[in-house]
Amino acid sequence: AQKVTQAQTEISVVEKEDVTLDCVYETRDTTYYLFWYKQPPSGELVFLIRRNSFDEQNEISGRYSWNFQKSTSSFNFTITASQVVDSAVYFCALREMGSGAGSYQLTFGKGTKLSVIP
Amino acid sequence: SAVISQKPSRDICQRGTSLTIQCQVDSQVTMMFWYRQQPGQSLTLIATANQGSEATYESGFVIDKFPISRPNLTFSTLTVSNMSPEDSSIYLCSVVTAEGISTIYFGEGSWLTVV
């Protein structure tokens, strides 16, 4: 069965520090997608990135970067020069490519609460 | 991407009552889902909202407790019936669009507190 583990429950950093959020996943599928979502205190879930299992290229978007390593089943997320607005709960999620509606089901990790202190 | 609006955004409900949450999308979507997030917890899929037919529920969720409608390609409702304090959660609508078929987007969430 699929599983997503975010071992870090809470992280606190001082503004401008870099921070890495860890995500480890388990799946038997060879084809799958990995996601990161941000949930600020207001509650909405904001899509950050999608990565498919065949694309191990790391990605950078502004201060955000993602490191996908199939060898270790990890999809880690780094924020450089953190800002107070980055304070939120971050969720890593896995979508296995099955058939029918089930292939759209997301398995979420428990989330990592990031607090950026001014 | 899609703009997904949920109503209400927040509500305080009395034990034993029912509340219907609406999800409206600004474009036609292929799939719509309802998730629950209990306080301090991760998200759990409640059901897939199927257009024109009964929703498909995940283990642990039943139609009598969480009736769902999806009359068209842009709208769905989730009712939380006979509420108890354990139903206090954020309920989130999520969609898959035809264009972004690989990406799953979420609404703003409906934060329910049952007293």
The Cα A109–Cα A24 span in angstroms is 9
Task: Please indicate whether, in this complex, the C-beta atoms of A45 and B41 are within 8 angstroms of each other.
Answer: no
| Chain A residues with CB-CB distance to B106 below 8 A | 37, 44-47
Task: Please indicate whether, in this complex, the C-beta atoms of B111 and A91 are within 8 angstroms of each other.
Answer: no
Cα dihedral A113, B3, B111, B38 sign: negative
Three-state secondary structure call for residue B62: coil
Q: Label residue B100 by pLDDT band (50, 70, 90).
A: low
pLDDT in tens, A14-71: 999 999 999 999 998 888 999 999 999 888 899 999 998 988 888 889 999 999 999 9
Shortest distance between the Cα of A15 and any Cα of chain B, in A, equals: 24
Looking at every residue in chain A, the average pLDDT score rounds to 92
Q: Which residue has the higher pLDDT, B68 or A98?
A: B68
Evaluate if residue A111 carries a pLDDT over 70: yes
The phi-psi region of residue A98 (left if phi > 0; otherwise alpha if psi is between -120 and 50; otherwise beta) is: beta
